[in-house]
Amino acid sequence: MPFKKIVRELRGRNKAIGRRGRSHIAPEGSSSASPSQSPSPSTTDEECLEQSIWVDLPPELLLDIIHRIESGQTLWPGRRDVVACASVCRSWREMTKDEVVKVPELSGLLTFPVSLKQPGPRDAPIQCFIKRERATGIYRLYLGLSPALSGDKSKLLLSAKKVRRATGMEFVVSLSGNDFSRSSTSYIGKLRSNFLGTKFTVYENQPPPVYSERSTNRKLPPSMRVSPWVSSSTHSYNMASILYELNVLRTRGPRRMQCIMNSIPVSSIQEGGQVHSPTEFTDQGNKKNKKSMMDFCTGNMGGESVVKEPLVLKNKSPRWHEQLQCWCLNFKGRVTVASVKNFQLIAAAAEAGKNMNIPEEEQERVILQFGKIGKDIFTMDYRYPISAFQAFAICLSSFDTKPVCE
């Protein structure tokens, strides 16, 4: 069969990913459900996948086919063909995810939904933009330089809905552009503020903790025992804390902020340092890979329940421009409108760098930058060691009103 015909058939199998250019990253574990809907994998679906006519393809030929598709599709929407390969059957999925597609840290590409929770590339940042809808309170993150350059080919990555609470503000983050229900499989986390809007906490959804063998749960009667894998979307893990400094004297200038990344150790920016990278989203119905994902969700990296020395990010201090009479930062052309929301984050490792062998260039490297380019349009560029979800949550905190910080 001609190679082009194989690609056309793969595209036909991936109709659920959405129309051209406005699609979501296809959720894992489902080849026929739309990303905006809750996938419900069943035994029948798995049987259909395993009975695919491509399942008996020789591994060498299969690897060559997927390599050729992946190397020729580096941008969306063309990269949907790579997702289509992983949607054919289990063997194609394992070959695509384990052998061909690399993590964003190495490839600089976003392919599967889990890529949004993996660290960004080390060399060059991933460039995105955020569109704000004031009427609905929805914020959408797209992959691309800007709406003007990307047009209809903009790739929707994440969405957030602003919800007012009695004690503060809350942003619900979802893979879908319209479904913000916490019981949905597209829900991945939230951002919650205190009453004054000076402290924000980033939460990620996770399954309840695993009970040990010594747990008193074993001593209960069988009818009263609770399974440690009961599905629940109410459990959350504190991934990061964002603190805004109070402006008591009401002095003019940009906001001062600090981000404590509870799931990222400061050693990650050392020479040869690494960050724990999840390989898939938590699947409540599958016990196969629960241990590795549980370690990521609970911050249990290397046997520890929490990171002893978390990475701390601080906003880069701007300089005063005498001619323009304003505070300035070098955004390298990515920000064109002055705004109090604009910021650049760098590692606050001046003291730690002396003791932990952190290069000076790494301490001055911009990890996340966010700024305004038009009415309700903002750019967001992030890189290693934070993920797209973490960067999006930090940027969302800048949208909340902070009268005591300005």
Whether 41 has a pLDDT exceeding 80, the answer reads no
Two tokens at 181?
């229900």
Q: Where is average pLDDT lowest: 87-96, 103-112, 175-184, 284-293?
A: 284-293
CA atoms within 13 A on the CB side of 228: 13
Look at 130 and 5; give whichever has higher pLDDT: 130
Strands 169-174 and 155-164: antiparallel
Name 355's bridge partners: none
Residue 353 in this model has a pLDDT that exceeds 60? no
| Predicted confidence (pLDDT) at residue 76 exceeds the cutoff of 70 | yes
Q: Tell me: the pLDDT tens digits for 102-161?
A: 999 998 999 899 999 999 999 899 999 999 999 999 999 999 877 766 666 678 999 999
What is the predicted pLDDT for the residue at 210? 39
pLDDT at 207: 43
372 pLDDT band (50/70/90 cuts)? very high
Q: Is 84 helix (H, G, I), strand (E, B) or coil?
A: helix
Residue-wise over 351-385: b if at least 16 C-beta within 10 A, else e? ebbeeeebeeebeeebbbbbbbbeeebbbbbbbbb
Q: Residue 201 — pLDDT band, cuts 50, 70, 90?
A: very high
Tell me the average pLDDT across 218-236. Answer: 45
State both tokens at 167. Answer: 């004690």
Report the percent of the chain where pLDDT is more than 70.
66
Q: What's the pLDDT score for residue 390? A: 95
Return the pLDDT at 197: 83
Query: What angle, rounded to 10 degrees, do the helices at 3-13 and 59-72 form?
Result: 80
Q: What is the distance between the alpha carbons of residues 172 and 162, in angstroms, rounded to a whole number?
A: 7
Mean predicted confidence (pLDDT) in 381-388: 95
Number of H helices, E strands in the chain: 11, 14
Decide which of 345 and 290 is more confident: 345
pLDDT at 26 exceeding the cut of 60: no
Higher-confidence residue: 28 or 203?
A: 203
Measured distance CA(109)–CA(126) in Å, rounded: 8
Judge if the upstream peptide bond of residue 385 is cis by omega within 30 degrees of 0.
yes
Looking at the DSSP assignment, which residues form a beta bridge with residue 379? 129, 371
Instruction: Read off the DSSP letter of residue 282.
Output: -
Spatial distance between the Cα atoms of 301 and 319, rounded to a whole number of angstroms: 39
